[in-house]
Structure 1
Amino acid sequence: MKILIGAFAMLFIIPLYGQSITGVVLDTNSSPLEDVNIFNKTSGQHSHTNTTGYFAIPNTKKGDSLYFSRIGHETLLEVITDQQTSLQVILTPSSVSLDQIVIVSEVDQLSRIVDIDVKNNPVKSSQEILRKVPGLIIGQHAGGGKAEQLFLRGFDIDHGTDLALSVDGLPVNMVSHAHGQGYSDLHFVIPETINNIEFGKGPFTASQGNFATAGYIDLKLKDVLEQNQVTLEVGQFNTQRFAGLFPVINSDYNSLYLASEVYLTDGPVNSPQNFNRINLMSKYVYDRPGEEKLDLTVSHFQSKWDASGQIPQRAVDAGLIDRFGAIDDTEGGNTSRSNVSLNYTKNLNENDSFTTNAFLSKYDFELFSNFTFFLEDPINGDQIRQYEDRLLMGVNSIFERKGKELASFDLDYQAGAGFRYDDVNDVELSRTKNRRETLERLSYGDVDELNAFAFFNAEFKKGNWNINPSLRLDYFKFDYNNKLSPVYDNRSENKVAVSPKLNVIYTPSTTFQYFLKTGVGFHSNDTRVVVANEGEDILPAAYGIDIGTIIKPASRLVVNAALWSLFLNQEFVYVGDAGIVEPSGRSRRVGVELGARYQFNDWLYAYSDVNYTYARSTDEPDGEDLIPLAPDFTAVGGINVDNLGAFSGSLAYRYIDDRAANEDNSIIAEGYFITDMNLNYKVNNWTYGIIIENLFDTEWNETQFATESRLFNEATPVEEIHFTPGTPFFIRGKIAVTF
């Protein structure tokens, strides 16, 4: 390890030399374009533009052919003359097509390819975009206001324990949350503001630390709006949605837009959800192409809802309730979040740039649930209340050097450092009655958690090879003040995690990429777990490896495949619903991923992703070693139609196989196959649409748990499947106008 750290440190002091072609890439409105791929067909070198549209590509000489490609724009060929050392390139917008994909030696190349799916079929909710990540399954089980349950790579991630989520660099995961570690509520994102999605699977990215075990996802919001847009949706279950996006400033260097959303619904359940959500957002961008860029985003979100909760299968079978009924319909909650997020990028010279991200959030949360009904309290019932009041802040700064030479390699590297601090007050778990009366406090305290980090990431490029070693250091300071103690009881622990990574990418042509990704991460942990375990084994290591390929055998066909493995030393889980710590031991997961995307013609596009995972607890005997709710086989896909005259739309499916709901597979969570459809017709600046969820009215369970509960008329408890019913056939109409 010391040798590895020393080698990284030497990169700062070894003289760097060499020539580069630099430049800036703009759209036809003279706005900079980020993430444009620049590929030197002669040398095999590649680069991409940063947020200011700036690029530098090394070892480029007279006669070399540079290809500039970006999704949604025509690919441009530029032949270098002997006088050229700097370029200004204009890319012309065009319909989205796989023709615009060039395979290069990037670590997360698949993320750029999946962006085709987003552009071809814009999402209808901020949660739906998560389904664009191949293999990611989501489910809602609390009236639409609670964060979704996530599944990826053999993990029941709950609400975000092992998947790092962010929006333009603003963290979404909540550490040491009242409901559960990593709780990630994306409802503050207005879907019309989403530009694209960046993701990576596994612990292979040095800039990602806490929660990034199964991977990371960063949603990128639009910088500029060209037109006003107003959208109205009305549908079944007393559903209404209104969204408005309004550009306020669009000048040479400045842009500002406002966005808002109101969403109301009662849902398909018998007891109305009375759900309402309000979103307000503003984004300001100051951008001098090729020089610097600043963006400032301010947003506020609030929501409240009632819920029918998870119901036991036996109550439905006995006719006590139907699938959309409730045992306790007094569940529900309310939450709000206010955010300020700033990103600044400055190009220091032709090779160096500096980027800073800073954020501040004020967040509160209150949730009422009843999972066991009358198991603990046969008189008042088992309703619980979870509450917290949080202030979240942080800074992340990165220095980047690109386009230099080291020995016979071209070198890009990043050095970053930052911190995140969570001040969480009155974190509470209580037994309650009718959402009004507190019967007993089970846990109550304040959490202070600091995560300071630094990382170094290098890319050694030579011909078709990209060798990417990196190292990340995370320091955690955990504090918990137990307010239920009769005396002052504040406990504190700290811990350091060291996470080396090495990725090797080989791209023999613009149609093939082979990759080997290896890395060490760590399983995130709740402050209450840390102090309960007195700092022992609190950041257990996660070891990952991916081997795979991305192939483009034809101009309009892309295929990807990967074989992967992930091993965790330990999984401590803080069960927020019970206020207890559950150690679940070591685990291993191996899997296979296959995907394909095909552009039939300019208006017809199809995609499909299939994932198989074998997930087991290694410390348990055979037959009792299954990981509850871990998906083993999933598949998603669809067909998108765009620019077929005035028509556009999509037909999409998602499938998850039956899976074990407990360790010995004696209780099964049933799988499902669901098909969604949308159809749009555009006349001038008006768009008329129909959105249908569950087109074939399939009866399905969206979320399922093996839970021990007791009904009011039962003498003994029963453990079986408790489920939230999936949405039945659900149609709503949409009218949108731009002006």
Structure 2
Amino acid sequence: MPYSIDRPLAGALALLVSSLGNPAHAAGIPTLQEVTVSPRQQDLIGVADSATEGTVTAAQLRNRPLLRPAEALETVPGMIVTQHSGDGKANQYFLRGFNLDHGSDFATHVLGMPVNMASHAHGQGYMDLNFLIPELVQGIAYRKGVYAAEDGDFATTGSARIDYRRRLAQPFVELGLGQNGYQRLLAAGSRPLGPDGDGRQLLVAAELTGYDGPWAQPENLQRRNLLLRLSDGSARHGYAITAMSYGAQWTATEHVPERAIRSGEIGRYGALSPRDGGRTRRNSLSAEWARLGDGEATRASAYLIDYGLNLYSAPSGYIGGLQGDQHEQADSRLVWGGEARHTWRLGPALRDTELSVGTRLRQDRIGRVGLFTTEGRARTGTVREDRITETALAAYVEARTQWTPWLRSTTALRRDEISADVTALGGQYNMGNGGSVRGGQTSPRLGLVLGPFELAGSTEFYANWGHGFHSNDARGATSRSNPADASPIDRVPLIARARGAELGLRAAPLPGWNTSLSVWQMALASELVFVGDEGITEPRGASRRHGVEWANYITPVDGLILDADLALSKARFTHPASSGGDHVPNAIPLTASVGISADRDGPWYGGLRLRYLGAYALEETGSHKSSPFWTANLRLGHRLSRQVQFSLDVLNLFDRKANDIEYWGGACTRSEALQGSCNGGIDGRLVHPLEPRSLRASLRIGF
């Protein structure tokens, strides 16, 4: 059963956060305070280096209706977040013509900690953001492309760094209830520990979520989230120590052959496998420190993460008669590491150049990562099981120079080294695999900025070029044979190289209107493509992409935010696949979003968002495409008093009958398997339907 959020528990949490409150704030309206973050708050100049970087503020998130926590990343222009399984699993991400799968080409950090998991049981770069608490987000600093010195592994399309608040205006408890068994309880508060009220702060938050979803097989999602944060000062000058604990368990309705729904064998929200799903955990301790001095700045961070996942799925439908083809992917690891950066201003003799040097260390100690055959979540055999120690070390130097009032440059050089030791622990055909592997890359990066010019308001022009990479699974780089049948396989390189370039502009044509336009291209040495009949991603050939992005942010008056984004892209393999096609499957060529948020600190507030996904190729020839669709989410809120506020979210406002995700691959329905007509899988469309219109109401009480 989902978590039961009863009155005693709500009361206990309310008492906890109210004890953290600052009495001086008790009379205020119980909303989270707005925080505005500069695009490059860590740097001394504090200006953009490309047309496609920026920061999402708390004000932009405050009235944004979200179906899932990771949808906070859809504030990054052009980013799409979907799901093809249960809500305890990492989402599917799409950006710049990339099917990022679960995060293989987009790097995300939360409170200085990496979220992407290398050599993961389910997918390389697995990026599970279900532990995110959107109400606590202070800002999301994002960059696109491979141009920033700080960005390394997985940052092929870009990166995001998510920071939490260090203090709240006052503590609160929020209770959410909705259709399909949705329950959520969030309690959060902070208090100063020093006598002046402006020094050290202690922030505490607790979240419980339960959800069944619209599925014929209830999702039975149970999620708990805890946070404890001690801080002093700001992100630019101060420190923060954060402990987090997250856990979830769920039953999943996987994507299914579309013909199973069309034939009436299952309903639109039906399942073919009764016990798919899983459980996961993420416990962490992190520390961040920064100092801003006269002409110099220093920051450093360190972290320790305990992570685990047991994922049960049957992605090929129902192959195998009465048994099905469910398997378990298991991952248990300890991740530790840190980074440091120091910046100097070199003085007038060197045009006040900012010189930065930085280093980063990360080690994944994966005790066991494996693939097992299962029946009803009980293991029946071991395909492969391994132990992996993977270490990544990076160093970089970056120089930012203002040559003239209208010309500045950023040059950087980064070196990454990755080494891995793989030991085979189990699997009949896996014991000959394993070994040690190393890889490295030197990545030059260059950016030029022209302006500002008085063209349609303040205008700057940008040119960027750079090299980047994503790592491949260490098992793929050391295995000699397929662990399923001992057939020989080719090893993949540990590092897949990328090269990108971009031209763009930023302008402020009218007061309150900021717009950016960019044209970009990207070449990738090894593509990761979803294989539907195996439920995995595998490296394919090299690919090329190019596209155009247009982003707009408008604040005509205080409290009113309008945004509109448009992204077009084209993705093709450098060499055609065996089928004769060169389309990259699931690379979305057109996305658009429009949103409005209104909150002038009066009794009413709200937000409306529309999102469009264009049709994309499902396989290499492009003969089969997904169906394009619009969807909309609405939030409407009312402050009943200075202490109480109520909000209503309407998700999928127009009840669109579309698919959250579509694939093409070999699969079976239950009837086909039982009739013996499947023969290992029939190629066809695999779908996971968009959730229907649903209502979620929330009541927040401040203290």
> Equivalent residue for 1:60?
none
Q: Contact between 2:341 and 2:359, CA under 8 Å: does it hold in 1? A: yes
Q: Contact between 1:151 and 1:158, CA under 8 Å: does it hold in 2? A: yes
1:511 aligns with 2:458: yes
Comparing 485-494 with 381-390, which one deviates more in the overlay? 485-494
SS in 2 for 1:713: helix
Q: 1:431 Cα shift?
A: 1.1
Q: Contact between 1:164 and 1:210, CA under 8 Å: does it hold in 2? A: yes
> Equivalent residue for 1:351?
295
Q: 1:524 Cα shift?
A: 2.1
1:434 aligns with 2:376: yes
Q: Contact between 1:111 and 1:197, CA under 8 Å: does it hold in 2? A: no
Partners of 1:556 and 1:655 in 2: how far apart?
25
Q: 1:369 Cα shift?
A: 0.3
Comparing 677-686 with 507-516, which one deviates more in the overlay? 507-516
Comparing 480-489 with 492-501, which one deviates more in the overlay? 480-489
Q: 1:540 Cα shift?
A: 2.8
Q: What is the identity, as a one-letter code, of the residue corresponding to 1:719? A: D
> Equivalent residue for 2:279?
334
> Equivalent residue for 1:735?
699
Partners of 1:658 and 1:461 in 2: how far apart?
44
> Equivalent residue for 2:564?
608
Q: Contact between 1:304 and 1:333, CA under 8 Å: does it hold in 2? A: yes
The superposition leaves residues 316-372 of structure 1 with CA deviations (integer Å, 9 ceiling, x where unpaired) of: 11111111111112111000110111011134x412232111000001100100112
> Equivalent residue for 2:5?
none
> Equivalent residue for 2:546?
590
Matches within 5 A, 1:121-140: 121-122=63-64, 124=66, 125-140=68-83
1:456 aligns with 2:394: no
SS in 2 for 1:540: strand
Q: 1:705 Cα shift?
A: 1.3
TM-score by length of structure 1 reads 0.83
Q: What is the identity, as a one-letter code, of the residue corresponding to 1:674? A: T
Partners of 1:237 and 1:56 in 2: how far apart?
49
> Equivalent residue for 1:632?
589
Q: What is the identity, as a one-letter code, of the residue corresponding to 1:530? A: A
> Equivalent residue for 1:21?
none
Percent identical residues: 29
Q: What is the identity, as a one-letter code, of the residue corresponding to 2:290? A: T
Partners of 1:713 and 1:106 in 2: how far apart?
57
> Equivalent residue for 1:685?
643
1:530 aligns with 2:477: yes
Partners of 1:142 and 1:374 in 2: how far apart?
16
Q: How many residue pairs were aligned?
A: 643
Going from structure 1 to structure 2, the CA distance change for 1:147 and 1:49 (only over 3 Å counts) comes to: closer
SS in 2 for 1:399: strand
Q: Contact between 1:429 and 1:576, CA under 8 Å: does it hold in 2? A: no
> Equivalent residue for 2:690?
726
Matches within 5 A, 1:652-667: 652-667=609-624
Partners of 1:237 and 1:694 in 2: how far apart?
14
1:228 aligns with 2:171: yes
1:643 to 569, 576, 600: 600
Matches within 5 A, 1:264-413: 264-287=210-233, 292-347=237-292, 349-375=293-319, 377-402=320-345, 404-407=347-350, 409-413=351-355
Matches within 5 A, 1:186-205: 186-205=129-148
Q: 1:403 Cα shift?
A: 6.1
1:539 to 476, 489, 495: 495
SS in 1 for 2:661: strand
SS in 1 for 2:471: coil
SS in 1 for 2:305: strand
1:173 aligns with 2:116: yes
Q: Contact between 2:417 and 2:438, CA under 8 Å: does it hold in 1? A: yes
SS in 2 for 1:668: coil
2:100 to 144, 150, 157: 157
Q: Contact between 2:276 and 2:312, CA under 8 Å: does it hold in 1? A: yes
Partners of 2:288 and 2:77 in 1: how far apart?
28
Going from structure 1 to structure 2, the CA distance change for 1:581 and 1:335 (only over 3 Å counts) comes to: closer
Partners of 2:374 and 2:234 in 1: how far apart?
56
1:106 aligns with 2:53: no
The superposition leaves residues 700-721 of structure 1 with CA deviations (integer Å, 9 ceiling, x where unpaired) of: 1111211201223321332111
1:698 to 656, 662, 679: 656
> Equivalent residue for 2:357?
415
SS in 1 for 2:670: coil
Going from structure 1 to structure 2, the CA distance change for 1:575 and 1:699 (only over 3 Å counts) comes to: closer
Q: Contact between 1:56 and 1:350, CA under 8 Å: does it hold in 2? A: no
Partners of 1:36 and 1:107 in 2: how far apart?
13
The superposition leaves residues 6-63 of structure 1 with CA deviations (integer Å, 9 ceiling, x where unpaired) of: xxxxxxxxxxxxxxxxxxxxxxxxx9x99558xxxxxxxxxx764xxxx967xxxxxx
Q: Contact between 1:253 and 1:288, CA under 8 Å: does it hold in 2? A: no
In structure 1, stretches of 5+ residues that fail to align are: 1-30, 38-47, 58-103
SS in 2 for 1:626: coil
Partners of 1:473 and 1:489 in 2: how far apart?
29
Q: Contact between 1:248 and 1:258, CA under 8 Å: does it hold in 2? A: no
Q: 1:568 Cα shift?
A: 1.1
TM-score by length of structure 2 reads 0.87
Going from structure 1 to structure 2, the CA distance change for 1:205 and 1:36 (only over 3 Å counts) comes to: closer
SS in 2 for 1:654: strand
In structure 2, stretches of 5+ residues that fail to align are: 1-32, 481-489
Q: Contact between 1:56 and 1:403, CA under 8 Å: does it hold in 2? A: no
Q: Contact between 2:533 and 2:666, CA under 8 Å: does it hold in 1? A: no
> Equivalent residue for 2:573?
617
Partners of 2:215 and 2:235 in 1: how far apart?
52
Partners of 2:114 and 2:590 in 1: how far apart?
29
Q: Contact between 2:384 and 2:427, CA under 8 Å: does it hold in 1? A: no
Going from structure 1 to structure 2, the CA distance change for 1:192 and 1:572 (only over 3 Å counts) comes to: closer
Partners of 1:280 and 1:460 in 2: how far apart?
43
Q: 1:488 Cα shift?
A: 8.2
Q: Contact between 2:611 and 2:632, CA under 8 Å: does it hold in 1? A: yes
User: How large is the Cα RMSD of the aligned pairs?
Assistant: 2.5
1:676 to 626, 629, 633: 633
The superposition leaves residues 591-626 of structure 1 with CA deviations (integer Å, 9 ceiling, x where unpaired) of: 001122223333433211001001000111796000
Q: Contact between 1:105 and 1:506, CA under 8 Å: does it hold in 2? A: no
Partners of 1:214 and 1:589 in 2: how far apart?
11
Q: What is the identity, as a one-letter code, of the residue corresponding to 1:709? A: A
Comparing 334-343 with 112-121, which one deviates more in the overlay? 112-121
Partners of 2:534 and 2:261 in 1: how far apart?
26
